[in-house]
Amino acid sequence: MLDFAESLVRGVGQTVSITACAFLIGAVLGFPLALLRRSRNVLVRWGAALVIDTVRSIPPIVVVFLVFYSVGSGAVRLGTFQAAVIGLGAISAAYLAEIYRAGIESVASGQWEAANALALPSRKMYVHVILPQALLVAIPPAATFAIGLLKDSAVASVIGAQDITFFAFQESQATLQGLTIFLVAAVLYIALSLPVAGLARWSDHALSKRVAT
């Protein structure tokens, strides 16, 4: 069992870095996408919604394959890691855009009115008034999404990225002790998601305290 653990731990680095990079891409790209989703221009709004809904309705495994076989097979040779990060990053952007948007829309209308009445320029209003309140609301659902992403990162193994699931599959093929090996894999995933879940709980608590007082 310890041997298996030792073998699977080799994949932790890839699992964590695929998750972290994809989440980072999503966290950055999700923001402009959320703003486009709130545009005053109907076409822009619909366009953004179409992109978000399309990406969200394709299974992650299909997205990763699509990236791997389209972008990755053309002029630019993509490694398995890059392909997985791009695919999962696109999915993250779509989900986080909706999470940001919900956060922004949760800010009370009086806050927007006060910022407008005080003649704050649009960018300053977002930076100093709206986003500090919106992001706090967005943290718990974003953390929940991050845990889901950590699990979804296992699809990277199907294109050959050497993550936890990749090594688990390899070991089980070699030793035929699949149950034990995948139990070890499950424990590893749980261990990795605990800190994120902790962050979610903590921020949720901090938020409710702030709303209550």
Partner 1 sequence: MPVTTTALLELRDICVSYKHHQVVHNVDLTVDRGEVVALIGPSGAGKSSLLRSINFLEEPNQGQVLLAGQRVGVLDRRGRAVPANRRQLAEHRRHVGMVFQSFNLFPHLSALENVILAQVHGLGRSRSAARERARQELEHVGLSDKSNMRPASCSGGQQQRIAIARALAMDPMLMLFDEPTSALDPELGIEVLNTMRRLADEGMTMVVVTHEMHFAEEVADRVVFMADGRIVEQGPASEVMNNPRHERTQRFLSAVKNR
Q: What single DSSP character describes residue 78?
A: P
Instruction: Enter the tokens of residue 180.
Output: 């034990």
| 110 lies in the site for partner 1, by CB under 8 A | yes
Applying CB under 8 A, which of residues 118, 186, 194, 206 lies at the interface with partner 1?
118
Q: What single DSSP character describes residue 76?
A: S
DSSP readout, 27-46? HHHHHHHHHHHT-SSHHHHH
- Measured CA to CA in angstroms, residue 182 lies from 84, 118, 143, 187, 191 at distances of 21, 58, 25, 9, 14
| 205 lies in the site for partner 1, by CB under 8 A | no
| 133 lies in the site for partner 1, by CB under 8 A | yes
Instruction: Enter the tokens of residue 50.
Output: 């179409």
Task: For the CB of residue 204, give the shortest distance to partner 1 in the complex, in Å.
Answer: 17
Applying CB under 8 A, which of residues 113, 174, 201, 206 lies at the interface with partner 1?
113
Task: For the CB of residue 134, give the shortest distance to partner 1 in the complex, in Å.
Answer: 11
Stretch that binds partner 1, among 14-22, 41-49, 115-123, 195-203 (CB under 8 A): 115-123
Enumerate binding residues for partner 1 (CB under 8 A): 108, 110-111, 113-122, 124, 128-129, 132-133, 136, 210, 213
